[in-house]
Structure 1
Amino acid sequence: MREDFLHYVWQHQYFDKADLRTAAGEEIQVLRPGQRNADAGPDFLNARLRLGEVEWNGAVEIHLRASDWARHNHQTDLKYDQVILHVVGSHDADVARTNGSLIPALALQPRLLPELLARYQALVEAPAAAPLPCAPLLNLVPEITKTMMTERALLERMEGKADVIAALHQHLGQDWEATAYHALMAAFGFQKNSEPLARLAKAVPLAVLRRHRHDQRQLEALLFGQAGFLADNEETISDDYIQDLKREYDFLSHKYSLGPTAMRVHEWNYLRLRPANFPPVRLGQLVGLLHARPALFDALLTADSTTALTEFFQAPTPQYWRTHFRPGRAGKVPALGKASIALLITNVVVPLRVAYARHVGQPALVESSLALLSELPAEHNQYTDVYEALGFTHRTAADSQGLLALHKGYCAPRRCLHCAIGSRLVQQPRVAR
């Protein structure tokens, strides 16, 4: 049994309340169990209890064993002086506040409903290889419950992504254009090179790029030079185009003192990447985008459909990077594909718009931004395929993002009691469709 089960039992009062008494024998009446506390401090706040003849208002702390109180050093933490009841699985020690006054304890282990505990254990103790802890029981869950939970997970996932954007916005002095630039640069790395591209965004300040945004050649020189791709080697030494960019970069690097922040070619990842995903290819696409779309944030904010956003991302790439996978190495390069654009909309555009909407207080913009995900095709990977095979709706990117959030936030860490699906199965083992 884990502590989260006791949290769940206390929150919903799923235990035998007959002759309810503290470990010291004092009668207990639960008038209000309290609200879960997501911050530091006791687990439940604003609880209301009657202990004997006295009514108490305060906090409730929950542990598997009463002795965990001392292991967690609560006896020296003033935040826990507000605790009026210590709810435990087993009472193996008395505990006190910082002033030495004893805290009443309620042991739940003898009062747990055996069938409730059995259903909970069946979920959280499912084999690690099981696709979902609840997979064998999903036929007992109404479709509306699965849909509701997937949508809730989607909202949580997008809120989390928006939080990252909001933190970036704060770090960049609340400049939304700079935020869009840094977010797009990192996203164009598509996981493998996301971190190097994020560093490149810092190495080429937007203020410098803005001065040269109308000159594609200078944009190329700045970005490819700072990325370390213009260094001489046997493939580039005789490439006139690369040598021309190198001369331009040497001039601009000296002008803006960029040398100390320049990257090296070994900092980029090529392992297990198809040539179309090579860093120079993505950087060439970024050059085309930055040149053709100078007002990044405004364009991303005002686009009213995925069609408009697709056009935004399909800016023409410089000719050289349509025919070279790497500097000095020729080969036909495909344009930025629809699947890649869908990922950029999902991972950058929607979170960026949600973060902005929260910042300025426009809930309608949050809704319209999330609606974009329903215009995009579903993403298929090893995680979403499992849910689809188990009957979860999976038609759009909104579904995919919800299923990924369900996996990462609930199923993989076995947080079944925090999930509407798991909670329903624990409560009611035989639910009719």
Structure 2
Amino acid sequence: MKEDFLHYVWQHQYFDKLDLRTTAGEEIQVLRPGHRNADAGPDFLNARLRLGEVEWNGAVEIHLRASDWARHHHQIDPKYDQVILHVVGSADADVTRTNGSLIPALALQARVAPELLARYQALVEAPAAAPLPCAPLLPLVPEITKTMMTERALLERVERKADAIMTLHEGLGQDWEATAYHALMAAFGFQKNSEPLARLAKSVPVAVLRRHRHDQRQLEALLFGQAGFLVENEETVADDYIRDLRQEHAFLSHKYGLGEAALHAHEWNYLRLRPANFPPVRLGQLAGLLHARPALFDALLTAQSVAALTEFFQAPVPLYWRTHFRPGRPGKVPALGKSSTDLLITNVVVPLRVAYARHVGQPAVVESSVALLSQLPAEHNQYTDAYEALGFAHRTAADSQGLLALHKNYCAPRRCLHCAIGSRLVHQPRVIR
């Protein structure tokens, strides 16, 4: 048994309440179990209990063993002085508040039905290689439960991404245009080069970018120079275009004091990347986008459809970067692909719009932004394909994002009791064999 199982049992009151008493013999009546506390402090807040003849309002703390109270140093933490009941698996010790007063305890181990515990253990002890622990039991789960859980996981995933956008926004002085710029720069790295592109955004401050984005040559000099791509080597020594950008970058770098923030060519990742995904190719696409779309945030916020957003991302790439995979190395470079555009909409546009909508209090914009995912095709990878094979709906990017969140936040860490699917299976009246 794990502590999260006791949390589940207490929250849903799945235990025998016949002649319910504390370990000291005092009668207990649970009027309200309280709500889960996501922050520091007791596990459940705003509980309401009747102990003997007295009604109490306060918190409930849960441990496998009562002695865990002292092990976690709750007896010296004032946050736990509001606890009115200590719910435990086994009561192996008495516990007190900071003032020394005794806290009543309720031992649940003997009150939990063995079959309930067996169903829980069947899930959490499933082999690690299983795509999801409840796979053999999914026929017992109604489709509506799977759909609702996938949708819930999707919204949680979008909210987490929106939280990251808000953190970025706060760090940039609450400048939404700067936020859109930094978020797009990092996203254009498509994981392999997200980190160096995020640092490149910092090395070319948005204030400097705004002064020079109208001049394509200066914009390229800033971006490629700060990225460390304009160094002279055997491939670029005879390249007049790169030489001209290098000279322009030297001037701008000195003017704005950008030298120390510049990256080096060795900091970029090329391993296992197709040439179309090389960092200079992506940076060329960004240069074209930043030059052609001077109001990034406004355009991303007001676009009404995936088609409009797709057109937004198809900005003309500077001629040199249509014909060079790397500085001094010619080749025909394809335009930004549809799948890449879909990922940018999923990972930047939707979270950015949700973050802004929450900030200004526009829930309708949150809904319309998340709805964009339903206009995008499903993403296929080892995780989404495994869920699809098990009968989960997988038609759009909204489904994909929900399934990825379900895997990462519930199935992989075996948080079955926090999942509507696992919770239903644990409470199934049919015994798992």
Q: Normalized against structure 2, the TM-score is what?
A: 0.98
Alpha-carbon contact 1:276-1:333 (below 8 Å) kept: yes
* 1:379-421 superposed Cα distances (whole Å, 9 cap, x missing partner): 0111101101101000100000000010111111111111110
Cα distance between partner residues in 2 of 1:46 and 1:311: 51
Deviation at 1:260, TM superposition (A): 1.4
Q: Give the structure 2 partner of residue 379 of structure 1.
A: 379
- SS of residue in 2 equivalent to 1:393: coil
Cα distance between partner residues in 1 of 2:40 and 2:309: 42
Counterparts of 1:47-126 in structure 2, within 5 Å, are 47-126=47-126
Q: Give the structure 2 partner of residue 253 of structure 1.
A: 253
- Opposite residue 168 of structure 1, the aligned amino acid is L
Counterparts of 1:286-365 in structure 2, within 5 Å, are 286-365=286-365
Cα distance between partner residues in 1 of 2:311 and 2:54: 69
Counterparts of 1:85-234 in structure 2, within 5 Å, are 85-234=85-234
Q: Give the structure 1 partner of residue 420 of structure 2.
A: 420
Deviation at 1:430, TM superposition (A): 4.5
- Opposite residue 204 of structure 2, the aligned amino acid is V
* 1:166-204 superposed Cα distances (whole Å, 9 cap, x missing partner): 111111111100000000000000001101000000100
Cα distance between partner residues in 1 of 2:303 and 2:60: 49
Cα distance between partner residues in 1 of 2:222 and 2:45: 55
Alpha-carbon contact 1:140-1:430 (below 8 Å) kept: no
- SS of residue in 2 equivalent to 1:386: helix
- SS of residue in 1 equivalent to 2:182: helix
Alpha-carbon contact 1:140-1:429 (below 8 Å) kept: no
Cα distance between partner residues in 1 of 2:156 and 2:228: 38
Alpha-carbon contact 1:229-1:265 (below 8 Å) kept: yes
Deviation at 1:311, TM superposition (A): 0.4
Cα distance between partner residues in 1 of 2:40 and 2:15: 26
- SS of residue in 2 equivalent to 1:48: strand
Counterparts of 1:397-416 in structure 2, within 5 Å, are 397-416=397-416
- SS of residue in 2 equivalent to 1:353: helix
Deviation at 1:48, TM superposition (A): 1.3
Cα distance between partner residues in 2 of 1:354 and 1:430: 41
Deviation at 1:319, TM superposition (A): 1.2
Q: Give the structure 1 partner of residue 388 of structure 2.
A: 388
Note the residue ranges of structure 1 that are not aligned, 5 or more in a row. none
- Opposite residue 295 of structure 1, the aligned amino acid is A
Deviation at 1:64, TM superposition (A): 0.5
- Opposite residue 26 of structure 1, the aligned amino acid is E
Report % sequence identity. Answer: 87
Alpha-carbon contact 1:28-1:52 (below 8 Å) kept: yes
- SS of residue in 2 equivalent to 1:399: helix
- SS of residue in 2 equivalent to 1:422: helix
Query: Which stretches of structure 1, 4 residues or longer, exceed 2 Å deviation after superposition?
Result: none
- Opposite residue 358 of structure 1, the aligned amino acid is R
Alpha-carbon contact 1:383-1:404 (below 8 Å) kept: yes
Note the residue ranges of structure 2 that are not aligned, 5 or more in a row. none
